[in-house]
């Protein structure tokens, strides 16, 4: 059996957006892809509110870990997707990398306000990520993307 192509989703801290995207893409196309995430300056944890808003979708990312993108420099990475501008600028070329996309999203970890307002921002960003990554998965299924 052929190995699944690796898609690496990068964000600076690898604590919110990249894990949300990883969870959504894994759920949408995990049988087609090896989906991973990492950061250029990993925070060392996955944000609890990211875990909570993903749980609302029935996607469990509580076992994800914050990783540095250098962990993937010796692995074949077919596609790199950056989800924040800083990671896009810091992103190296990975061995075997064929495709690179940048889809930037606001960082919900910087949200201010009441607890409910902050959760609303996490949900808003999650829903934007979901739209983009579900569309990407649909394109994969039609054989138009990787």
What's the pLDDT tens digit per position in 26-50?
999 999 999 999 998 999 999 999 9
Looking at every residue in the chain, the average pLDDT score rounds to 90
Known catalytic residue at 16: no
Considering the domain boundaries, does residue 47 fall inside one? yes
Position 143 scores a pLDDT of 80
pLDDT of residue 38: 95
Long-range contacts of 88-97 (CB under 8 A, 24+ apart): 88/10, 90/12, 90/40, 91/10, 91/40, 94/8
Options 8, 81, 84, 129, the catalytic residue: 84
- Asked if the structure places residue 57 within a domain, the reply is yes
pLDDT digits (tens, 9 = 90+) for 89-120: 666 666 666 788 999 999 999 999 999 999 99
91 in catalytic set: yes
Q: Over range 82-91, report the average pLDDT.
A: 70
Q: What is the pLDDT of residue 95?
A: 61
Q: Structure tokens of 122?
A: 């996490």
Residue 145 lies in a domain: no
C-alpha triplet 138, 139, 144: angle, nearest 5°: 155
Examine the pLDDT at 132 and tell me if it is beyond 70: yes
Is there a domain that residue 146 lies in?
no
The one catalytic residue among 7, 8, 9, 11: 11
Q: pTM to 2 decimals?
A: 0.91
Q: Using CA atoms, how far apart are residues 51 and 44, in angstroms rounded to an integer?
A: 14
Query: Who wins on pLDDT, 64 or 90?
Result: 64
CATH number for 88? 3.40.50.2300
Provide the number of structural domains found in the chain. 1
Residue 146 pLDDT greater than 60, yes or no: no
Told to judge if 84 belongs to the known catalytic residues of this protein, a careful annotator would answer yes
User: Chain-centre distance of CA 117, in angstroms?
Assistant: 23
Query: Which range of residues forms the domain containing residue 25?
Result: 6-140
Confidence of residue 1 (pLDDT cuts 50, 70, 90): very low
The answer to whether residue 1 is domain-embedded is: no
Pair of tokens at residue 80: 């790199």
Catalytic residue among 29, 38, 53, 91: 91
């Amino acid at each position: 059996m052929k190995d699944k192509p690796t898609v690496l989703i990068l964000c600076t801290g690898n604590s919110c957006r990249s894990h949300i995207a990883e969870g959504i893409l894994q759920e949408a196309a995990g049988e087609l892809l090896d989906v991973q995430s990492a950061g250029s300056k990993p925070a060392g944890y996955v944000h609890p509110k990211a875990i909570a808003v993903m749980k609302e979708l029935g996607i469990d990312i509580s076992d994800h870990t914050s990783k540095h993108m250098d962990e993937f420099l010796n692995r074949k990475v077919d596609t790199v997707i950056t989800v924040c501008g800083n990671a896009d600028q810091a992103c190296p070329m990975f061995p075997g990398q064929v495709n690179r996309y940048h889809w930037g999203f606001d960082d919900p970890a910087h949200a201010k306000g009441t607890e409910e307002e902050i959760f609303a921002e996490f949900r808003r960003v999650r829903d934007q990520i979901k739209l983009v990554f579900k569309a990407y998965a649909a394109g994969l299924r039609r054989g138009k993307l990787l």
